[in-house]
Amino acid sequence: MKQTLNLIKVFFKETLMGMMGGISKKGGKSVLIFFAVIFTLIMSSLGYTFYNMAGFLNSMGFAKNILLIGFIAGLIVSVMITLTDTQGAVYKSQDYEMLASLPIRKFNIIVAKYLSVYLISLMYFTAFVLPAIVVYYFYCGVTAYGIIYLLIGLLLAPTFSQFLNCLISWLVNVLSSKMKNKTIMRTVTTLIFTLIVAVLVYLINSDMLSVMFATEMPLWFKIVFSNVYFLSIAVNTGNFLWFLVFLVLSITFFVFGVLVIMIGYQKINTLLKTSKNRKKQKQFIFKEKPVFSDLLKKEFSTLLNCTVYCINCLMGPIMTVVATVVCVVLYNSLGELPKELIITIVTPIFVFGCCMCLGIAPTTSASISMEGSKFQNLKSLPISFKQIAWSKICVNLILSLPVAFVCGLVFVCIVPVGIPCAFLIIIYQLLAVVLYTVLGLLLNLRFPRLKWSNETQAAKQGASMLLTMFIDMFISIIPMVLFFILTTNIENFTFLPFIGGFVGLMLVLTIAVILLFVFKGKKLYEKINP
Amino acid sequence: MLKIENLTKKFGDKVAVDNLNLEVSAGQICAFIGHNGAGKTTALRCISGIISFEEGCITIDGIDVSKNPLEAKKQIAYLPDNPELYEHLKGIDYLNFIADIFGVSVSDRKQRIDEYAHKLEIFDDLGALISSYSHGMKQKLALVSALIHKPKLLLLDEPFVGLDPNASHQFKLIMQQLASEGSAIFYSTHVLEVAEKICSHVAIIKNAKLIAHGTMKEIKGMKSLESIFLEMEDETNS
């Protein structure tokens, strides 16, 4: 027990200090305040959205369902965002051999690693669930047991998403450890599982209306979200028995999550670290290539071979495609309502939803951190900062610009928004990609995390990645909420002037960030001490 | 070839290198010795342009490292203490990558890779991914990559760590050959016996300050480098 607690302390410290990686004590305070302000604003915006939704539900007598909606949103977000965190921390991590050589039980190592990932999962979960809980109290009243149940519920409910992550991690690594090209196959299998989860998320979303207006929850819901379902009953009825069921289920998810990882933990890690016999080669091709193409090849090979980095960065384009499909389906399924009203509802959700997905994890916000200790080699070579920066920027542009353009085009072709609006929507999406790409690199140059023991820490738990994500959420959620506030308060308010104004704002912001990058980027690069 | 004048590097309040003055001319092999944390790696990193410094001036073949870093870097090869390479590239791809950066022609790179990779017994493994290499093999690859453009100044941070006896012997010969062809070599080491055998010059650093610099003969006289080093350490301690 003492061993586990010590390890948890070490991993927690590593996770939290890493998240603040690169932030000096001096500047740390202001960045922490910035983090807190953005986090609060995001939660407030979500709270406002939940508040409006609950008002609508309340008029039909379903206000209590806002709690379930908040919990499901939190679970889905924590599953999607931390999908690869567990495998990054548990499998193929650099500290595996060091830990394995110490007299520590395997169970203790796994539990400690599990809980350090859980901390991150809990952070995203809280951002969605806390506003929903406040809105729930507002409409359904505050009770002593309600406060206790929901506080414990908030802490334990993500065990479900964590269990899913553990299961997927285990499956991915069991399969890829037996394959020939382990590293690439690990990325490919993770991508396949990510797509499966994305499809499941889509299916769940498409049936959310039946959850929102249900007195009795559908069977699939009771099975899939069992712990959350029993928690909501316990909170609504005050019955301790249901709360006990929630506790048992959550603890079961935790135990199963740990047990799954324990199966073949050593064997899988050994297999993943073992490479096949090297082929002896006598003839090689020598060809001169431009340095930029070499750098681009290096960036892409890092991306494809670092599973956590790759999946995390591909999550944005994948979710953009999912969001586009959801919006198009939503547009078609709301056929009974007046067309103009549907367009007014669906268009901002598409524009700002996709904008959020596209900027959630640009490759640039971790590309310096991914260099790790190799960064000193790069810095000692006669390569200009311009070339290095361009190669890193190009990777994200190649991944995201076509997705942004095609999704925007598909949407405006199906939803008749009008030519000026269609043009502005596509421009907005493309500008968003450029903005987040440059912003990500700028922040990673300012807050690089070059010392890490597993790729999750570099790819996902750096201050630059978190700041980019929060700024992205802030830039995307605030205009969406603002638009709905304006449409409810101003008669005949349309989307065209709104998007026009925001394209202008986005253009100014993008130019400002590019200029900041041009003037500050090189200085920041030179300042990094690998 | 390498001229360091009044170099001072601080990390916060801690002085890592204090007013260092040093010169390494073409054809010299200079060992840089000192205890752990003395400031050897920091000095090498400053020379190779990896980190900036507060005071002083470093010139490589007359080129100021601070004012013209890219040109200065073209003259050097830097080998860090730990061979961290791009694991997802094949050995040959990594060498081609470095050769492209330094603008080495196809025929030159072919000839040099062939020569050095065979000498260090890594040639047959160049087609494999670096991730499958052992520590020693990575070190060998890093050495080949450092030699691929025939640098005027070779900066090496403990280059013999991880090398097998044969590769170690071969590399000593390569160092001597490069020096005889006019390159300057400045390398940090803890293996004093090797330094004594192959180096023409030696620089000793203690607590960020250079305490001795000169030819091997001048510094050690009739004694061994090890005993001189230990004596100097004791003297400065007392």
Distance from CA of B60 to the nearest CA of A (A): 14
Q: Please determine, for residue A326, whether its predicted confidence score (pLDDT) is greater than 60.
A: yes
Distance from CA of A113 to the nearest CA of B (A): 25
A377 touches chain B (CB under 8 A): yes
- Per-residue model confidence (pLDDT) at position A505: 94
Q: Which of B85, B105, B125 sits opposite A374 (nearest CB)?
A: B85
A400-413: b or e for each residue (b if 16 or more CB lie within 10 Å)?
Answer: bbebbeebbeebbe
Q: What angle do CA B170, B171, B172 make, to 5 degrees?
A: 90
Pairwise pLDDT comparison (A209 vs B158), residue with the higher score: B158
Region B80-84: mean pLDDT is: 85
The answer to whether residues A382 and B102 touch, using CB atoms and an 8 Å cutoff, is yes
Could you tell me how many residues make up chain A?
Answer: 530
What are the tokens at A180?
A: 């020939």
Q: Search chain B and give the residue with CA nearest A379.
A: B50
The answer to whether residues A441 and A517 touch, using CB atoms and an 8 Å cutoff, is yes
What percent of chain B has pLDDT above 90?
A: 56
- Per-residue model confidence (pLDDT) at position A18: 66
User: B61 to chain A: which residues are within 8 Å by CB?
Assistant: none
Distance from CA of A286 to the nearest CA of B (A): 6
User: A374 to chain B: which residues are within 8 Å by CB?
Assistant: 84-86
Sequence-separated contacts (24+) of A211-218 with Cβ below 8 Å = A211/A65, A211/A68, A211/A69, A211/A72, A212/A57, A212/A62, A212/A65, A212/A69, A213/A57, A213/A60, A213/A62, A213/A65, A214/A62, A214/A65, A215/A62, A217/A68
Kindly report, residue by residue over A94-123, the tens digit of the pLDDT.
Answer: 788 778 777 788 888 898 888 888 888 888
Subunit contact A530:B50, Cβ cutoff 8 A: yes
Q: Which of A275, A279, A301 sits opposite B89 (nearest CB)?
A: A301
What percent of chain A has pLDDT above 90?
A: 36
Region A503-514: mean pLDDT is: 95
Global pTM reads 0.83
What percent of chain A has pLDDT above 70?
A: 96
- Per-residue model confidence (pLDDT) at position A135: 93
Pairwise pLDDT comparison (A75 vs A12), residue with the higher score: A75
Determine the 3-state secondary structure of B2 from DSSP. Answer: strand
Kindly report, residue by residue over B120-137, the tens digit of the pLDDT.
Answer: 999 989 988 888 888 899
A281 touches chain B (CB under 8 A): yes
Q: Search chain A and give the residue with CA nearest B83.
A: A374
User: A298 to chain B: which residues are within 8 Å by CB?
Assistant: 86, 89, 97
- Per-residue model confidence (pLDDT) at position A199: 86
How many Cα neighbours within 13 Å face the side chain of A27? 8
Q: Is the ipTM of this complex over 0.90?
A: no
User: B51 to chain A: which residues are within 8 Å by CB?
Assistant: 529-530
Q: Please determine, for residue B150, whether its predicted confidence score (pLDDT) is greater than 80.
A: yes
Alpha helices in chain B (DSSP H): 40-47, 69-75, 91-101, 106-119, 135-147, 165-180, 192-198, 216-220, 225-237
A381 touches chain B (CB under 8 A): yes
- Rounded CA-CA distance A346/A89 in Å is 39
At residue A508 the predicted structure's pLDDT band, cuts being 50, 70 and 90, is very high
Kindly report, residue by residue over A8-26, the tens digit of the pLDDT.
Answer: 777 777 777 666 655 555 5
- Per-residue model confidence (pLDDT) at position A276: 62
Subunit contact A381:B100, Cβ cutoff 8 A: no
User: B113 to chain A: which residues are within 8 Å by CB?
Assistant: 284, 286
What is the sign, positive or negative, of the torsion defined by CA atoms of A196, A200, A201, A206? positive
The answer to whether residues A309 and A370 touch, using CB atoms and an 8 Å cutoff, is yes
Q: Please determine, for residue A28, whether its predicted confidence score (pLDDT) is greater than 70.
A: no
3-state helix, strand, coil in chain B (%, to 5): 40, 25, 30
- Per-residue model confidence (pLDDT) at position A405: 96
Pairwise pLDDT comparison (A474 vs B47), residue with the higher score: B47
Subunit contact B98:A275, Cβ cutoff 8 A: no
- Per-residue model confidence (pLDDT) at position A385: 93
Distance from CA of A111 to the nearest CA of B (A): 29
Residue A273: partners with Cβ closer than 8 Å, 6 or more residues away? A92, A96, A97
Kindly report, residue by residue over A363-421, the tens digit of the pLDDT.
Answer: 999 999 999 888 988 899 999 999 999 999 999 999 999 999 999 999 999 988 889 99
Subunit contact A301:B86, Cβ cutoff 8 A: yes
Q: Cα dist. A471→A46, A47, A200, A356, A440 in Å?
A: 15, 18, 28, 10, 10
Subunit contact B50:A379, Cβ cutoff 8 A: yes
At residue A455 the predicted structure's pLDDT band, cuts being 50, 70 and 90, is confident
- Per-residue model confidence (pLDDT) at position A21: 57
- Rounded CA-CA distance A375/A422 in Å is 43
